[in-house]
Amino acid sequence: MAEGFAARETISLALRRRWKQVILEGDSSTLLHKLGSSDMELSVISPLVADIHSLSSQFESVSFSLISRVCNSAADLLARLALNQSGDSVWFPPGLAVALCGDLAT
């Protein structure tokens, strides 16, 4: 569920910044399967998935891609650090570059 909220916030941020194309990567196979499907289903995250689909329709191009947890350490770092943040912010915390390099190497 947390990754779903993060995905919605990411899509919202991309819209506010007027990006035209978005690739959303994540390691939650359940969420990404639901985002990649047009089938209507009734799960607890269905309203969140519908909201993400609605927001995503405003882009010229959007794709949802499943990646390995091993390749997602930068996102995990950002998620842990974001717990201490309030409000919207875009930042480049210490250690992110190292995590990104590690993800690229795997």
Domain residues of the chain, as ranges? 1-67, 71-106
How many angstroms separate the CA atoms of 94 and 97, rounded?
A: 7
Q: What is the pLDDT of residue 64?
A: 94
Task: Name 23's bridge partners.
Answer: 63
Q: What is the mean pLDDT of residues 47-56?
A: 95
Q: 50 with 81: CB under 8 angstroms?
A: no
How many angstroms separate the CA atoms of 34 and 57, rounded?
A: 15
What's this model's pTM, rounded to 2 decimal places? 0.75
Task: Name 25's bridge partners.
Answer: 65
Task: Name 61's bridge partners.
Answer: 21
Q: What is the mean pLDDT of residues 72-79?
A: 78
